[in-house]
């Protein structure tokens, strides 16, 4: 089964949902009360382009997922000698090499987090829409740098901000990430707020996905295990250099309005879940070991999960 062409062949965005320009984020005009976000959260979201949902999943659920990721990667959390090895697959998006992407997408632990009601409700607040699909995305084990292992942190957009596509992205912390020296999510809220005036100072042939942030200092976003970060895709962001002795562990989760009439995409999503198939795209090399198919079973979904995937209609 062919994956729907979502124009993600040469850009970073996740191809399990489309790159659409006709969606709108919640403007509160529907009069519905917020389910998870506070009024302070809402104002912070509107001003900075991101918001943190505290305790979106329990500490125990976060640890269980983290333990699974260590198992999947065949690494020992207590033995740094097992952490560093050559990449199993060459990534077309070279900038992500060495940043610790875990090529697992459809395991039960990952679906359990996607089906957590508080996570779903948080995205309902962001979109002002109940009929949502969840992205089929991976996880991250970002190791401390050392002389023989490093990477160049970079700030980027996954979608060209000059296009009027509307999307949000999310990161679920599976370990505490409060250490300033630790790797993790970083972003440039000032550029988010001032993009239109900033772009007037930039050359016309600039890289539409990697801004020159010379005049900005990226913000390190602190999170605790179980916290969910949701950010507007127009927020320039990246993975921070990990100068600590701790491992940053996270799962990427986002939701967007369901495209229930898009049968090609719906069928691809169902097949991805059922047969544990990774998305294909510029930033998604997949797992050459095919552990998801060989070692693990198809995740069991509850009613919410079936709707978030697309098996059931809303």
Q: Which pLDDT tens digits describe the chain residue by residue (314 residues)?
A: 334 444 445 555 566 776 666 789 999 999 999 999 999 999 999 999 999 999 999 999 999 999 999 999 999 999 999 998 877 766 544 455 457 889 999 999 999 999 999 999 999 999 999 999 999 999 999 999 987 777 777 899 988 888 877 899 999 999 999 999 998 899 999 999 999 999 999 999 999 999 999 999 999 999 999 999 999 999 999 988 999 999 999 999 999 999 999 999 999 999 999 999 988 766 677 888 999 999 999 999 999 999 999 999 99
291 contacts 33 by C-beta, under 8 angstroms? no
Predicted confidence at residue 90, as pLDDT, reads 63
C-alpha 100/C-alpha 89 separation (Å) is: 12
Predicted confidence at residue 33, as pLDDT, reads 97
Looking from the CA of 175 toward its CB, the CA atoms found within 13 Å total 22
Q: Alpha-carbon Rg of the chain, whole angstroms?
A: 19
Predicted confidence at residue 13, as pLDDT, reads 56
Cβ contacts of 6-13, under 8 Å, gap ≥ 24? 6/265, 8/281, 8/282, 9/281, 9/282, 10/282, 11/158, 11/159, 11/160, 11/209, 11/282, 12/93, 12/156, 12/158, 12/209, 12/281, 12/282, 12/283, 13/158, 13/159, 13/167, 13/233, 13/281
Start-to-end Cα distance in the chain? 24
Predicted confidence at residue 14, as pLDDT, reads 66
Q: Which CATH number fits domain 39-309: 2.60.40.2220, 2.60.120.620, 3.30.360.10, 4.10.1240.10?
A: 2.60.120.620
Predicted confidence at residue 163, as pLDDT, reads 84
Predicted confidence at residue 281, as pLDDT, reads 65
Predicted confidence at residue 3, as pLDDT, reads 42
Provide the residue ranges of all domains of the chain, joining segments of one domain with +.
Answer: 39-309
């Amino acid at each position: 089964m062919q994956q729907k062409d979502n124009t993600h062949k040469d850009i970073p965005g996740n191809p399990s949902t489309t790159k659409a320009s006709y969606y709108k984020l919640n403007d509160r005009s529907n009069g519905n009360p917020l389910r998870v976000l506070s009024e302070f959260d809402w104002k912070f979201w509107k001003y900075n382009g991101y918001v943190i949902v505290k305790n979106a999943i329990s500490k125990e659920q976060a640890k269980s997922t983290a333990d699974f990721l260590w198992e999947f990667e065949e690494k020992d959390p207590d033995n740094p000698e097992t952490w560093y090895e050559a990449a199993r697959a060459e990534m077309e998006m070279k900038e992500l090499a060495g940043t610790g992407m875990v090529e697992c997408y459809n395991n039960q632990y990952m679906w359990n987090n996607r089906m957590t009601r508080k996570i779903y409700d948080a995205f309902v607040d962001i979109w002002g829409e109940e009929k949502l699909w969840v992205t089929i995305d991976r996880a991250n084990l970002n190791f401390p740098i050392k002389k023989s292992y490093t990477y160049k942190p970079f700030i980027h957009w996954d979608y060209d901000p000059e296009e009027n596509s509307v999307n949000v992205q999310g990161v679920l912390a599976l370990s505490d990430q409060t250490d300033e020296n630790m790797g993790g999510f970083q972003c440039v809220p000032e550029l988010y707020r001032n993009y239109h005036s900033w772009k007037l100072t930039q050359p016309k042939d600039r890289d539409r996905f990697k801004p020159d942030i010379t005049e900005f200092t990226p913000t390190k976003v602190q999170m605790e295990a179980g916290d969910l970060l949701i950010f507007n895709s127009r927020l320039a962001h990246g993975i921070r250099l990990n100068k600590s002795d701790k491992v940053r562990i996270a799962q990427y989760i986002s939701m967007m309005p369901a495209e229930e009439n898009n049968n090609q995409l719906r069928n691809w999503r169902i097949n991805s879940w059922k047969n544990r198939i990774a998305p294909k795209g510029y930033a998604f090399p997949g797992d050459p070991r095919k552990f998801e198919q060989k070692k693990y079973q198809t995740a069991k979904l509850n009613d919410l999960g079936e709707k978030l995937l697309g098996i059931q209609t809303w």
